[in-house]
Structures are given as structure tokens and as C-alpha cells.
Structure 1
């Protein structure tokens, strides 16, 4: 039975849930007022911890059960659509969608979105962009791989997210030592790819993301998202709209993104494409087949547009022609991150003062001391400073003031460490 023939009923939506770009609370706020939701929950420790709350939101079943039983349960539930907002659930969602005849990325496309090595190959084959890369199963292959790719190179999981286990490598010896160390905690396949050097654009980052929606193969680019500088090795500090790019750059960025989405044969859904801004023009970092992390909060605050709900409406085949993002001011999210040597966050000072700064609309602490910090080089946000400004210069002034009031205490292997916000250190040591 279709949605149109059930005019008196709410559409029925499968949400494949895992740790990712959308939280359980956001699912509740964005979806459950207008759709019947069933949650298919993954197996990570994050999902296990979230189950009590998820069970309060909607009917819930688990992914780790015999596939035939899962599909039979979902067929009897009579879904109208299926969606995921989590990177690691892209392929499972594609497989379930194919079995149930629902709109989503095809299985081959989902594979390309998940597997960054295969994604690079597809871009090369389609004439979109050639990036030297090689798959790597262990240290025995390292010297051949390094010889093929060249230095500097980026070493990362073929199936990864959140910059986890991602490193910049400058030599054969450095790579060998890194691979031996990684083998203690990571057993998956890696990919080595050439490092794409960005053009220095301080105090902004040298990359952007493009938020797009695709309906029946028709691509609409919603907005280009500006970024703050990356912290080593590849840790993101936040986002803002609009991006500080010229009209010429904007056209080149959107053209490159368009060709990438076509090459991946994306037919339905939201995408988040990361693009490096180089001296020779924009170059692809990667395409993600779901909403970007924190982007929905920015869209709601800047434009009154709920992208989580919009992604669900696309999955249900409902009208999304009016989906537009046009911020009329500069809106931002900035996150403080710990130093890499920190093992525990033991204190946050200045939160009330930072929240009171004119232009700061909210300040939220994600990690409440004492909080362990055992995630290596993965992006781990301590907090978020949200705000709005007339333009980029005023945004920078607001962040200067707010972050100048914040300081953090950490426990490290060498003892206690007290330090100001990373933002403050960057602004005092780097010229724009």
C-alpha cells in the first residue's frame, strides 16, 4: 500500500540507526511528530548504550539477528521508506532497501560511498579526478604502496569515519612504525592516498563541504559549508555558513561536486561532499552518502530548514521541491578539541562567561569532566560554541572573545596540563 492511498495514516519509515551524524534526540524531534518510525539498531557500544532511549522513541529491533527474520518483520510492518544518517549503516540500508523495494542508494553505489579506495577508482575511471591511492593489508605491502603513492601520503581505513586512524605520513620509516603501532588496535584494511595540499586560507580552513540533495537522479546543491582550520592530523574544528569563497570558486566547487555525484550514480538522498581548495583549483577529498555531522543544527538555526526531516521525505518519495538553504547572516559552530597527548579532561573553565558573549547563541559542553580521552587521533569534540554574526569578520571577533574566556585542564602521561582554547593558540601564533 502506498503513502498516497493511506491519506489518513502517517507514512511509515525505517530508520537504520548507528552512531553517526544524527543523535537519537534529533530523530525524535525531526521525525516522530509526523511519521511512524521503526528503528533498526546497530551493534556498536554507542548504540547499545542508546537503546533504552531509542526504545522510548519508537519501535526498535536489532540488526544482529538472522536476516530473513529481520526482513520478514519489516515486511509485516509495511514500510513506505527507509533512511539512515550513519556512515556505517549505508550498505546495510541499501541491502534492506533492495529487498523491500524502497528508495535508497543502490548497493553498488553504497559500496562506493563506504569504500574510499573504490570511490577514488571510480572517480578516475569517470574522468572526474585522478588521485594516487592503493589498498594496504599490512606492513609487508607498505614499501610497494609507498613507492606507488609517493610522499607525503594519507594513511586511513578504507571504511572509516570521524578521522579515526587517519595519519599524514612523510617517509617509509615513519609509515612502518605507524603500521606496527596501528596493528595493536586496528585490524581492518587501510588505504594510502596522495596528500592533497590546500592553499593557505587562514584564519579559515583550506577545505569546504557541499551539502546536496538528489531526487530521481536530479541533483540540487543546497549550500557550501565553510570550515575552520584542521587540527593535526585531520581533526575538524567546526563549520559556518556562508563559505568564504569567490563566485569563481563557488562555480568550480559545485561543478566538481556535480560530476562526482553523477559518477557515483547517486539517485536519491542527501550527500555531504568534502572538497580541498588548492592552488590549482578544487579537488575532491571524499563523498559521503548522508547528511554531514552537525549540519542539521546549522540548517535549522540559519534557515529554519530541517534536513533530517527532508532526508526522510526524500526516502518516502514525498515532495521536497521547496528545499532551499539561504542564510541571511553568518552562522557558525566552533568546537574545542583536546591535545593529542591528553588522556582525561579534568576541567572546563569560563563556560558561563563564554555563553554570555554577544553573538554567542548557545554554549554546550559535550564531555563533562572527568571524562576519559582514549580515542587516539579521531575527532573528539569537548564542546560547541554556536553563534551568528553580520559577516565573517564579526564571527572571528566573537570567537576570539568567547574562546579567550575558556580554558581546559587535562591529565596527560607527563602530568596535569592547563591550557587555553585551541582557537586562542592558533590566532596568536598564525597570521591571517
Structure 2
């Protein structure tokens, strides 16, 4: 691969296109600033704007909302060696800047396949990787015809989105009409309707996994398979763990599917996060994402010794990564996130944080949303906290999370007033233990 800093001595220079996503400013500091000089191009979301004062302290920064010619001139003058992003919404801007500066990154055609889930489904079907019924849904007027074509149950979601935002499971024409009316109040982008892939239920563990991969000069390496906790309605993630509880045969099938999917999306370089549903008929692709998964680096570092933020930067800079080998986990490393109820509009308090930290097997407890915190009602995965830990096996992990979450309670403001609820983990365990309640 190309030599970093050719014609110039000193540390490698990396552009990071920064937005709300899989990597926090603190993680950038821990993973990158010891060995690389960073130029952070900061996005325009409220989160990114709020983070900019901190980002200014750790690296040189520019803002994405300035005139494009001016931005590119600044970046050329800085003489970068590479460019990357860890945020879904910055994939297209990163590809645009990389093309202008002659830096290695996904082609725009590949970015479009990674961002546009309808185009991705079409490509995977044409390549013979997987056929999944997926139909563009331009508006509510086309809903009855689209629903008839796809069949129930189906999923309505944005063609371009992240974090399960505006994603709904639909069981009838009438329910879909209601959902589309509600969506129109807050979302104007293009939608798709696609068949719901039914997984093998095994609560409290989820019926899906993710494959973490890296691609260098078209060569794909799979770093690990992340297990997941059960999904909360409508499609809210609760965290994950390494390794996933799959047999050797299942592992081979999952990795073969991921390999074929990535190969047919023309991915030549970068970090990939592929979500896979485990079904009675074998693994099926949920979606392929052109960046690392949220909070995955913590588990990767603890379980395998690989810092995938660091790895992604080294790939972007053209550095040799052949010596990076994932260690086989000797325990189960996990992180669980509590989520608020869907009707809550404010988190008012959290109780039990100090007690959780003392539970054997819990290595840390962190609150992400510090009360009082507003809660937007957009059906996007929104995490209040994280319980990190390690266990002998998956059964031991469940016991640790039972004990830890029993100590937590949360206060919320809902339309009817103020309420107190136990941890979401505890609520779900109680619900499933109730006679007559579906698992």
C-alpha cells in the first residue's frame, strides 16, 4: 500500500468527518491522538455543534457548513494522508471530499449502495446473495398497492436512515395507514416497505447478530460476530456481547453470507458493520453499513484486543494492518443499555447507579442521559445508560444483568404525569415471566 507521509516526516495526518454516530470525541482521543494528527470536519447536527468546543481542544477543526471550495482549500493546504468517518450520515460527504483530494475511500457508487437500503436490497438480489421483497413507497397514496405486493408482516423504514429511526413493523393495511399519517408529521424523506425477516426467538438474547469486518484493497477480513440482546418495539437495540452464542456451523454460514454481501457491494476499503438475522432457514442479511457499529469498539477492545477505531484510521492512511489479529475471547464481554418507554418525553432521575457498580461481573456503569433530559419521540434507539461487564458464559451474563438491573429505577414524565419504572431489562424479564404473555 502507499507509504504514509510520503515526502514529509512526522506523524500521519488524518481527516475525520465528525458527526453523531458510532464514535464519541473521547474515543477519538483514546484511540487516535497519541499517534496521528487529526483534522476534524464537524457536521451540522445539534450534537455535533454542541461537541465542537471539546473537539477544538483535541484537534484542528473545520465546519462542514462553510463554502465547499473554501473547505477543500483548507484541507489541501493541510496536506492529509487519509480520510475516514465513523458516522453514518457523513458517508456521502466523506466520499465527496475524498474524491476531490484524491484520497482512498469508498466510491460514490458504493456509498450509495451502503446508504440507500432499497438500492442495497436490489443489488444483493441481482447478485444472487439474497432476495428480500423491498418496494419503494413514495407516499401514502401508494400504500395499499405496496402492502399487497410485499405482504404482511412488513417493515416500513426510510430508504436512507440510521439508528432504527422512523422504522415500524406493520401487520395490516389499517395499521400502516395510521403509521404513515403519524410519520408525515415529522418525516418527509423517501420510504421503503420490505418483508419482515422472522428470526428464531431466544429472549433475553436477540434473534440477530452483527459481523464486524475490515476491507483492505478489496480483501475482506472478518474480526468477529457480535451477539445482541432482544429488540424492543418497534426496533430499538439494547446492546450486545462478544462472542455471539452461535455454533461452528452457524458461524461459518454467517461469515459466508457476510463475505458474499460485501463482495457484491464493490467495497474496496474501510470498516463494515453487517447485521444478520438468524432464521429457521439460516442467516439472512438485514443490512450492510459502511462504518463501525455503535459502541462496538468497547467490546472489540475488551474481547479481542482490537481497537477498531484505530484499525479504521490505519486502513484509511494506507498503513500495514496484517499484524492485527483478533484474540479469541476467554469470557463473554457485554454492554447493556436501558431505554425509556416510548411515551416518555423527559427523564427526570436515575437511582441505583452506585449500587450497580458493586455487582460482581459489572466492570463499569455509565449514564449517557443526565437528568433532566428531554426524550424525542422519533422511535430511534435512545440509550439512557450502559452496564458493561464480563461473564464466564452467556447464562452467567444474564444472571449478572438480572442482579444489576434490579438495583436501577428511573423517573419519567409522560403525558399522564410523572411515573417511576424499573430498568427496561427488568420490565421485559417480568413481562415474559407473566403467564399468557408472549415471549
Q: TM-score when scaled to structure 2?
A: 0.96
CA deviation after TM superposition for structure 1 residue 256, in Å: 0.4
Q: Which residue does 2:335 correspond to in 1?
A: 333
Alignment of 1:306-317 (within 5 A): 306-317=307-318
Q: Which residue does 1:89 correspond to in 2?
A: 90
Q: Which residue does 1:421 correspond to in 2?
A: 423
Rounded Cα–Cα distance in structure 2 between residues aligned with 1:41 and 1:135: 32
Check whether the contact 1:208–1:277 (CA below 8 A) recurs between aligned residues. Answer: yes
Rounded Cα–Cα distance in structure 2 between residues aligned with 1:363 and 1:6: 46
Pairwise CA RMSD: 1.4
The one-character-per-residue Cα deviations of 1:359-409 (angstroms, maximum 9, x if unpaired) are 000001111111111233111101100000111111111101001111111
Q: Which residue does 2:436 correspond to in 1?
A: none
The one-character-per-residue Cα deviations of 1:58-112 (angstroms, maximum 9, x if unpaired) are 1111112222222222111111100000001111111111121111111100111
Q: Which residue does 2:184 correspond to in 1?
A: 183
Task: Tell me whether 1:58 sits opposite 2:94 in the alignment.
Answer: no
Rounded Cα–Cα distance in structure 1 between residues aligned with 2:29 and 2:331: 28
User: Secondary structure of the equivalent of 2:103?
Assistant: coil
Rounded Cα–Cα distance in structure 1 between residues aligned with 2:237 and 2:20: 17
CA deviation after TM superposition for structure 1 residue 322, in Å: 2.2
Q: Which residue does 1:369 correspond to in 2?
A: 371
Check whether the contact 2:3–2:319 (CA below 8 A) recurs between aligned residues. Answer: no
CA deviation after TM superposition for structure 1 residue 146, in Å: 1.1
Q: Which residue does 1:390 correspond to in 2?
A: 392
The one-character-per-residue Cα deviations of 1:147-168 (angstroms, maximum 9, x if unpaired) are 2111111111111001111111
Task: Tell me whether 1:196 sits opposite 2:182 in the alignment.
Answer: no
Q: Which residue does 2:405 correspond to in 1?
A: 403
| Structure 1: segments with no counterpart, 5+ residues | none
Report the number of matched residues: 432
Q: Which residue does 1:319 correspond to in 2?
A: 320
The one-character-per-residue Cα deviations of 1:227-254 (angstroms, maximum 9, x if unpaired) are 0000000000011011011111101100
Alignment of 1:213-292 (within 5 A): 213-292=214-293
Rounded Cα–Cα distance in structure 2 between residues aligned with 1:68 and 1:289: 26
Rounded Cα–Cα distance in structure 2 between residues aligned with 1:376 and 1:414: 19
Rounded Cα–Cα distance in structure 2 between residues aligned with 1:87 and 1:264: 17
Check whether the contact 2:402–2:425 (CA below 8 A) recurs between aligned residues. Answer: yes
Check whether the contact 2:343–2:377 (CA below 8 A) recurs between aligned residues. Answer: no
Check whether the contact 1:154–1:192 (CA below 8 A) recurs between aligned residues. Answer: yes
Q: Is 403-412 or 208-217 further displaced after alignment?
A: 403-412
Q: Which residue does 2:358 correspond to in 1?
A: 356
Rounded Cα–Cα distance in structure 1 between residues aligned with 2:71 and 2:107: 20
Rounded Cα–Cα distance in structure 2 between residues aligned with 1:375 and 1:37: 35
Rounded Cα–Cα distance in structure 2 between residues aligned with 1:261 and 1:404: 41
Rounded Cα–Cα distance in structure 2 between residues aligned with 1:40 and 1:376: 27
Check whether the contact 2:5–2:12 (CA below 8 A) recurs between aligned residues. Answer: no
User: Secondary structure of the equivalent of 2:224?
Assistant: strand
Q: Is 55-64 or 248-257 further displaced after alignment?
A: 55-64
Q: Which residue does 2:34 correspond to in 1?
A: 33
Rounded Cα–Cα distance in structure 1 between residues aligned with 2:310 and 2:259: 23
Q: Could you list the runs of 4 or more consecutive aligned residues of structure 1 that deviate by over 3 angstroms after TM superposition?
A: 4-8
Rounded Cα–Cα distance in structure 2 between residues aligned with 1:79 and 1:7: 11
Q: Is 342-351 or 398-407 further displaced after alignment?
A: 342-351
Q: Which residue does 2:125 correspond to in 1?
A: 124
User: Secondary structure of the equivalent of 2:254?
Assistant: helix
| Structure 2: segments with no counterpart, 5+ residues | 434-438
Q: TM-score when scaled to structure 1?
A: 0.97
Check whether the contact 1:2–1:80 (CA below 8 A) recurs between aligned residues. Answer: no
Rounded Cα–Cα distance in structure 2 between residues aligned with 1:40 and 1:425: 41
Alignment of 1:1-20 (within 5 A): 3=4, 5-6=6-7, 8-20=9-21
